[in-house]
Amino acid sequence: MDVQKLNSICTLSHTLIEPRACMNDSEWKANDSSSVALEKFKRDSVYIDKNGKLRNFNHKKVSRKKCGSLRGRGWKYGSGFVDGIFPVLSPTAQHILDYVEKGVESESIWGSLDMLPATLDAWDDIFTVAVQLRMRKQWDSIISICRWVLLRSSFKPDVICYNLLIDAFGQKLLYKEAESTYLQLLEARCIPTEDTYALLIKAYCMSGLLEKAEAVFAEMRNYGLPSSAVVYNAYINGLMKGGNSDKAEEIFQRMKRDGCKPTTETYTMLINLYGKAGKSFVALKMFHEMTSHKCKPNICTYTALVNAFAREGLCEKAEEVFEQMQEAGLEPDVYAYNALMEAYSRAGYPYGAAEIFSLMQHMGCEPDRASYNILVDAYGKAGFQDDAEAVFEDMKRVGIRPTMKSHMVLLSAYSKMGSVSKCEEILNQMCKSGLKPDTYVLNSMLNLYGRLGQFEKMEEVLTVMEKGSYVADISTYNILINRYGQAGFIERMEDFFQLLPSKGLMPDVVTWTSRIGAYSKKKLYVKCLEIFEEMVDAGCYPDGGTAKVLLAACSNEDQTEQVTTVIRTMHKDMKTVVPV
């Protein structure tokens, strides 16, 4: 029926543009009368800072623009986020999008697209839909549509089509397909743009193929194209997504040496890089460098800096940046508010997070799923399980469907207090709502049972993982090794450790530290040192946790001095693990 409806629509004239639908004020608005957990803390912007003092949030500094800033700018790579720029869908494009998003097979999509007339309007509709899919990160659907254009349609593909396809393949880490698409572009005598090279470089970087990325970079120069900020930004972005932060910093320095001026997007990415690495003050230094070079921060830049401080629970610094953003005339959007909420959550101040949540609603910016998840997590971490559940239920009442993460933060709240029955209830709710628990969820249950000494249930979970479609990862075995070791079941712990090679898993620093910790509890100093030597020989280096369990194994000052010397020697070029 859906295919017939789509096909009938496709034959209609669609020169009229359908206006973007606006949400009703009642839709998505939180039900304040039912939000008991939130209402308790709406005290005219009063919150408690890290020193335990009451403080007020200045409402006058917050803009009242409805919904904050929107993000997205079509297919063009390197455009960054631009407020409120979205492609407008015609009725035909909207029906195509609705149909594709149902998750139908490629052949069905192709069959429906075959019915489109070979007109300029149809071409525009196809790529307007592709842009929407790109913004929603639906890479498979983009691949399906672009391959239809290339292989089956009467349209002649242009560089936009090839670029979209390279981007989609790159995002899925299918670098060979991205490479093949680039070669098809050349064979079709289509001239590659800087976006083409940028996307191909990014695809290689995300797959860890740095030599190939460098080769494309050199080829671009051979074609006479300058190394623009678009290309450098793609290079840095790809390296960050590929987990190669050091190389990303190196490319940033090369960018400056080559005389290519970093853009707002460049600095925003570097601020994100340092923020995620727990280097908030380096992120701040980067922000100052940016402003000193007359590069204007946008809302994403400020949000990245708020997030940098939020990750370390530095709520006062996060609030300062938030206020600077408002003073710069930028509208706080849901991402900015969420970042500030996260700061209070990480710092252990759920009331502060609740206040920001209330402020967001008061200013007309509707909380999203992430907002509710952050607040559930904030209450859960602070031990307020009832309030966490009240927010969770409130999220469902306003029409936001809880995801796996939503259930996970609530499960963590009850796991923290050791409520097995409640955690099992949440797990059952998850399954009833059509969500299949992943390895992370089952690892959480595994850890809960182990922490409470319920080893039979822990083994049952492991059996479910091994017999089902779940993949037991190194975290799974770390939990088993740690829990059995801490309970004194050394033999069982060693059995799991010996199993790792057959599972294709490599022990990490947590594995080794958990194993050492088991013998440390028994003050078996010599055994601890033996395992430590095994760890180093295996190429795994200690962290602060390793040093702590080794020191706990010591029975006299000589042993303590020996451990301290060994650890400091290994970290002579790094920050000392064991304080003086």
From 72-86, 267-281, 298-312, the region with the lowest mean pLDDT: 72-86
Q: Which residues contact 407 (CB under 8 A, 6 or more apart)?
A: 426, 429, 430, 435, 441
* pLDDT score of 3 more than 70: no
State the pLDDT confidence band at 87, using cuts at 50, 70 and 90: low
pLDDT given at position 573? 43
Q: Report the C-alpha gap between 551 and 150 in whole angstroms.
A: 64
* pLDDT score of 491 more than 90: yes
From 15-24, 299-308, 456-465, the region with the lowest mean pLDDT: 15-24
To the nearest whole number, what is the mean pLDDT of the chain?
Answer: 83
What is residue 503's DSSP assignment? G
Q: Report the C-alpha gap between 18 and 443 in whole angstroms.
A: 48
What is the mean pLDDT of the segment spanning 76-82? 35
State the pLDDT confidence band at 575, using cuts at 50, 70 and 90: very low
pLDDT given at position 51? 52
Over residues 174-190, the pLDDT tens digits come to 999 999 999 999 999 88
Greater confidence (49 vs 502) lies with 502
pLDDT given at position 481? 95
What is the mean pLDDT of the segment spanning 22-37? 37
pLDDT given at position 571? 61
Judge contact between 525 and 549, C-beta under 8 A. no
State the pLDDT confidence band at 467, using cuts at 50, 70 and 90: confident
| Secondary structure in 3-state letters for 534-570 | HHHHCCCCCCHHHHHHHHHCCCCHHHHHHHHHHHHHH
pTM > 0.85? no
Greater confidence (215 vs 570) lies with 215
What is the mean pLDDT of the segment spanning 535-559? 89
pLDDT given at position 435? 87
From 35-39, 210-214, 472-476, the region with the lowest mean pLDDT: 35-39
What are the Cα distances from residue 233, in Å, to 168, 199, 277, 307? 18, 10, 19, 20
pLDDT given at position 468? 78
* pLDDT score of 431 more than 50: yes
**Phi, psi dihedral angles at 54 (to 5 degrees):** -75, 135
From 210-219, 429-438, 565-574, the region with the lowest mean pLDDT: 565-574
* pLDDT score of 251 more than 80: yes
pLDDT given at position 93? 87
From 41-50, 178-187, 401-410, the region with the lowest mean pLDDT: 41-50
Coil, strand, or helix at residue 46?
Answer: strand
pLDDT given at position 101? 85
Burial of 467 (0-12, 13-18, 19+ CB in 10 A): exposed
* pLDDT score of 24 more than 60: no
pLDDT over 70, % of the chain? 83
State the pLDDT confidence band at 67, using cuts at 50, 70 and 90: very low
C-alpha 476 chain-centroid distance: 21
